[in-house]
């Protein structure tokens, strides 16, 4: 070999090549790889002029530009990797770095920046322009009849245009142009801040979606083949359902009311008497204690507030505790109708004008009553005022997927947006806790409703029927524990789903008197939302009908499907991202709904046909996951679905090669759908990997000034970083002075007062000190809750602290979640499958090694962040 080399090359070059070869072989490269690499290097020097300054710069930073390719251990296909990475760097690298040499001018970016700034300035320009005043003046100048006529004519023209837009059949080119135009309008409009662009996006989405549904109804059903017809009709029903929910959802959230609290009257003697009820059944006393302590500290005249502990479990320690701290205790002899019956029984003893209801783990802040009761003065017909349920512990999705505080949690959408939107139409409904009701109204409707398992929504439906109003203030004034595990979460949702469908059957909001049209639609949407089980299952299995059964569920060519379906999904995603983006990031609804779909499908269907069947089950609260475990039972249906989809995928690949030639693109689309389904199912399964919950007491993160006093008299400045009902985490510069086991006093302020709490140091690490509270008197317990949980601003600060919704980013995250679900399943596969799993892993990492990597550049603002920082 060396002789061959010396025959063709100069000795220094030959020696260099030989030493390189030896280096490769020493580091474990195979013969082929080493030869190829040496050959490649030689060719490179020959043809690409590696000694030129440009190449030298690249070679100097070789590790930065090619981080995934080893310099000393080449693999056979490394040249391909180098090529892919180089192409990637040339095309994708952001401004700065290599690109500066290639770009001639940045006028596209500058132009885009100018357009964005102009779009941003539109709202202020519009509000400043005199056009609005002129139009208003004209309108006022016209008589009532003329105005109505104008509205009618305008409405008629709009209706005609809408009919044309929706029902006019287009050829492919026309549809393409139409869709691209609307998409461009949407992309322009979504940059403009304000409410009206949201309305515009909703209108565009409605246009496209109505058009899509019309097309589906009129031209995509195959009447010839019974199997296709049935599958097609099922899918069409599911699509109609989601269209209905989409439209009603837009209607519900189109203009969130954002109601502000009303100040109480100056004269305290006019303030009403309030009964605060805390029903409990089987929860631990430690869960209920903070709630009662916080209730004792509410800012309300003591003689006008009565606190009742309603114990359906007849436990003596609860009775003792109630006596010890001075709240009233009621244990009823019979236990029918669960929580509703409990409250109704207690109402016989309550005399107050208002009733406030709190779940046993929802800790109210001190300002709860002062913020809410003001509205009862302002609106005489107000029957119920609801505030959000905020959770200070992570729900199963956040905990198992690690999304705490990075994406809004599942309840944010409802309490942040939907109820607020309902409030505009006077349709916010009671959620069972953190609410104040008027006693006279409760008596009028016969107490809390007991006929269904979601007694709360039913109660407020009755209130609305009797002509009373409801209100919603979106400032969180209480916080509680989220469900502990995925199975508890699913059980809770099953109960809600069953209850809502029972109300739909027994007391249908669309029928019956007493409700306004808007209220009917809002309630109907709330109930329809829970019927999503079967449609979601249909969506998860629809492509299999084509791949496995060869049934044409959508009887249209692939191109038509793409032209109609894609815009429908894109516009819905754009509009939803704009309207809901702060409360739920795009595509997360898929995960939430998929996890619940199987479980709520059966109860809701049963309840739809027989509302009285089924048993009531209580949500378990306050348990502790001792270790990591996988809730396989919960995910079994989804594993089955996943296997079905996998079968469909395999058959689809077969069809690609051996099926009809003209079905090629349809099979491709079905395969894409199947892959999407599988990824969503992977994400749903990932939620079942329950992560360990380390502590019994949930910690709330905060940042408050505090002081720590050691026994010998020194007092040190510190910051309270987190707290629970039994301990706290503190950051201080003087942490090194504290010893574990030492007794210290924690000083916290609330308003003008300062409180001292006896603690013992549990651990010290770095600048952090963990303390456990020692035994405290009742007053001290109340004070501690007042300084921590029950601060009026405890939950408010965290409201708008989520990063903004970026749909593509979100899609990538959800897809990544799905992939991770599969990887975790592979991790815990039984031994039989280990070799297969190992081989799949190797194959996977081999494929992934070809993917180009982004080099770690210094922090450059890339375009997406530039857009966000307005």
Partner 1 sequence: MSVIALHGIRGGTGTTSVTAALAWALSLLGEKVLAIDFSAANLLRLHFAMPYDSPRGWATAERAGSGWEHGAMRYNSRLDFLPFGQLSGAEEGSVSCDWQNNLTKLRNTNVYDWILLDVPVGEPLRAAQAISMADHALILLQADSQSHVRLHQQPLPVNCHYLVNQFAPVSQLQQDILLLWQQTLPQLLPFTLHRDEAMAESLAGKQPVGELHPQSKSSQDIITLANWCLINLRSMPK
Interface contacts to partner 1, rule CB under 8 A: 707, 709, 712-717, 732-734, 745, 747, 752-756
Angle, in degrees to the nearest 10, between helices 285-296 and 316-325:
20
CA distance 541 to 534: 11
What SS3 string covers 195-254?
A: HHHHHHHHHHHHHHHHHHHHHHHHHCCCCCCHHHHHHHHHHHHHHHHHHHHHHHHHHHHC
312 classed as catalytic? yes
Least distance from partner 1 to the Cβ atom of residue 753, Å: 7
Contact status, residue 487 vs residue 369, Cβ threshold 8 Å:
no
Using the CB atoms, write b or e for 728-765: b if 16+ within 10 Å.
Answer: bbbbbeebeebeeebebbbbbebeeeebebebebeebe
Pick the catalytic residue from 312, 631, 783, 805: 312
What does the block give as tokens for 695? 């502590």
Element (H, E) at 419: helix 419-424
Contact status, residue 547 vs residue 648, Cβ threshold 8 Å:
yes
CA distance 849 to 840: 14
- Provide the 8-state DSSP code for 687: T
Q: For partner 1, which is the closer residue by CB, 530 or 723?
A: 723
Least distance from partner 1 to the Cβ atom of residue 734, Å: 5
CA distance 759 to 772: 5
Q: For partner 1, which is the closer residue by CB, 619 or 745?
A: 745
Q: For partner 1, which is the closer residue by CB, 557 or 758?
A: 758
Pick the catalytic residue from 275, 359, 456, 631: 456
Least distance from partner 1 to the Cβ atom of residue 780, Å: 11
Q: For partner 1, which is the closer residue by CB, 405 or 714?
A: 714
Helix (H, G, I), strand (E, B) or coil at 276: strand
Least distance from partner 1 to the Cβ atom of residue 745, Å: 6
Q: How many other β-carbons are positioned within 10 Å of the β-carbon of residue 597?
A: 22
Backbone angles phi, psi at 153, to 5 degrees: -60, -45
Q: Map tokens 């210290």 to a residue.
A: 744
Find all residues with CB under 8 Å of 797, minimum gap 6, and list them.
none
Angle, in degrees to the nearest 10, between helices 778-787 and 285-296:
80
Q: For partner 1, which is the closer residue by CB, 176 or 755?
A: 755
Least distance from partner 1 to the Cβ atom of residue 707, Å: 5
Q: How many other β-carbons are positioned within 10 Å of the β-carbon of residue 170?
A: 16
Q: For partner 1, which is the closer residue by CB, 306 or 745?
A: 745
Q: For partner 1, which is the closer residue by CB, 229 or 709?
A: 709
The strand pair at 382-386 and 469-472 is best described as parallel
Q: For partner 1, which is the closer residue by CB, 739 or 753?
A: 753
Least distance from partner 1 to the Cβ atom of residue 757, Å: 9
Q: For partner 1, which is the closer residue by CB, 234 or 737?
A: 737
456 classed as catalytic? yes
Q: For partner 1, which is the closer residue by CB, 11 or 713?
A: 713
Backbone angles phi, psi at 384, to 5 degrees: -150, 135
- Provide the 8-state DSSP code for 468: -
Least distance from partner 1 to the Cβ atom of residue 773, Å: 15
Least distance from partner 1 to the Cβ atom of residue 779, Å: 10
Least distance from partner 1 to the Cβ atom of residue 715, Å: 4
Q: What is the dihedral of CA 139, 143, 144, 147, to 10 degrees?
A: -40
Q: For partner 1, which is the closer residue by CB, 274 or 708?
A: 708
Contact status, residue 293 vs residue 260, Cβ threshold 8 Å:
no
Least distance from partner 1 to the Cβ atom of residue 303, Å: 20
Least distance from partner 1 to the Cβ atom of residue 749, Å: 9
CA distance 816 to 848: 14
Element (H, E) at 470: strand 469-472
CA dist 479 → 18, 279, 366, 419, 620 (Å): 71, 16, 12, 17, 17
Catalytic residue positions, numbered: 312, 456
């Amino acid at each position: 070999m060396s002789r061959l080399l010396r025959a063709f090359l100069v000795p220094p070059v030959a020696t260099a090549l030989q030493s390189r070869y030896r280096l490769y072989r020493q580091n474990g490269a195979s013969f082929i790889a080493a030869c190829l690499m040496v050959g490649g290097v030689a060719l490179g020097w020959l043809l690409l002029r590696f000694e030129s300054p440009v190449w030298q710069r690249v070679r100097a930073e070789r590790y930065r530009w090619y981080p995934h390719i080893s310099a000393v251990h080449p693999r056979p296909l490394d040249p391909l990797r180098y090529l892919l990475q180089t192409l990637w760097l040339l095309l994708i690298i952001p401004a700065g770095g290599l690109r500066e040499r290639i770009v001639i001018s940045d006028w596209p970016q500058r132009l885009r920046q100018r357009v964005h700034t102009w779009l941003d300035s539109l709202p202020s320009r519009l509000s400043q322009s005199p056009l609005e005043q002129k139009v208003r003046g004209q309108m006022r100048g016209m008589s009532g009849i003329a105005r109505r006529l104008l509205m009618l004519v305008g409405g008629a023209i709009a209706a005609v245009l809408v009919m044309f837009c929706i029902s006019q059949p287009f050829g492919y080119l026309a549809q393409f142009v139409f869709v691209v135009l609307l998409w461009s309008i949407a992309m322009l409009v979504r940059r403009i801040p304000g409410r009206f662009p949201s309305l515009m996006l909703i209108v565009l989405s409605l246009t496209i979606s109505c058009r899509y549904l019309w097309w589906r109804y009129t031209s995509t059903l195959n009447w010839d083949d019974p199997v296709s017809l049935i599958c097609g009709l099922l899918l069409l029903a599911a699509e109609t359902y989601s269209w209905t929910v989409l439209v009603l959802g837009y209607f519900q959230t189109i203009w969130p009311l954002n109601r502000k609290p009303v100040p109480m009257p100056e004269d305290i003697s006019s303030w009403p008497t309030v009964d605060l009820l805390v029903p409990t059944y089987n929860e631990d006393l430690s869960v209920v204690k903070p709630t009662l302590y916080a209730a004792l500290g509410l800012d309300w005249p003591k003689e006008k507030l009565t606190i009742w502990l309603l114990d359906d479990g007849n436990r003596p320690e609860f009775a003792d505790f109630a006596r010890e701290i001075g709240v009233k205790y009621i244990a009823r002899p019979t236990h029918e109708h669960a929580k509703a019956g409990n409250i109704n029984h207690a109402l016989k003893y309550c005399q107050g004008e208002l009733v406030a209801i709190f779940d046993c783990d929802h800790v109210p802040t001190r300002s709860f009553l002062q913020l809410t009761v003001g509205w009862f003065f302002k609106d005489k017909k107000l029957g119920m005022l609801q505030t959000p349920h905020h959770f200070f512990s992570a729900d199963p999705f956040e905990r198992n997927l690690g999304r705490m505080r990075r994406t809004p949690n599942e309840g944010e959408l409802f309490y942040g947006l939907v109820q607020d939107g309902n409030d505009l139409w006077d349709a916010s409904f009671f959620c069972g806790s953190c609410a104040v009701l008027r006693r006279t109204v409760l008596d009028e409707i016969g107490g809390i409703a007991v006929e269904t398992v979601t007694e709360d929504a039913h109660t407020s439906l009755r209130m609305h029927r009797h002509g009373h109003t409801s209100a919603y203030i979106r400032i969180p004034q209480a916080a509680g524990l989220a469900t502990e595990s995925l199975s508890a979460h699913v059980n809770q949702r099953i109960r809600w789903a069953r209850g809502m469908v029972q109300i739909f059957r027994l007391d249908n909001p669309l029928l019956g008197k007493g409700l306004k049209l808007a209220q009917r639609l809002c309630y109907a949407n709330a109930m329809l939302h829970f019927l999503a089980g079967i449609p979601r299952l249909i969506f998860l299995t629809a492509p299999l009908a084509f791949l496995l059964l060869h049934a044409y569920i959508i009887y249209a060519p692939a191109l038509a499907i793409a032209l109609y379906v894609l815009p429908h999904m894109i516009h819905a995603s754009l509009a939803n991202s704009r309207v809901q983006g702060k409360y739920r990031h795009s595509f997360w609804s898929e995960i939430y709904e998929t996890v619940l779909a199987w479980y709520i499908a059966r109860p809701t269907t049963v309840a739809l046909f027989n509302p009285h069947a089924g048993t009531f089950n209580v949500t378990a609260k306050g348990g502790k996951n001792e270790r990591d475990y996988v809730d396989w039972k919960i995910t079994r249906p989804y594993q089955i679905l996943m296997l079905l989809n996998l079968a469909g995928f395999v058959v689809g690949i077969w069809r690609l090669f051996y099926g009809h030639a003209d079905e090629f693109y349809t099979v491709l689309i079905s395969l894409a759908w199947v892959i999407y389904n599988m990824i969503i199912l992977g994400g749903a399964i990932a939620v079942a990997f329950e992560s360990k919950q380390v502590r019994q007491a949930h910690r709330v993160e905060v940042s408050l000034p505090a002081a720590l006093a050691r026994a010998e008299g020194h007092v040190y400045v510190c910051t309270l970083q987190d707290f629970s009902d039994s301990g706290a985490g503190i950051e201080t510069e003087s942490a090194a002075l504290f010893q574990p086991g030492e007794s210290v006093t924690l000083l916290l302020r609330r308003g003008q007062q300062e409180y001292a709490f006896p603690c013992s140091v549990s651990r010290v690490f770095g600048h952090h000190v963990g303390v456990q509270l020692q035994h405290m008197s009742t007053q001290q317990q109340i004070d501690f809750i007042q300084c921590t949980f029950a601060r009026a601003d405890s939950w408010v600060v965290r409201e708008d602290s989520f990063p903004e919704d970026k749909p593509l980013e979100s899609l990538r995250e959800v897809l990544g979640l799905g992939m991770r679900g599969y990887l975790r399943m592979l991790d815990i596969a039984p031994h039989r499958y280990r070799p297969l799993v190992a081989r799949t892993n190797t194959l996977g990492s081999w494929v992934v090694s070809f993917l180009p990597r982004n080099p770690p550049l210094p922090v450059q603002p890339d375009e997406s962040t530039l857009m966000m920082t307005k």
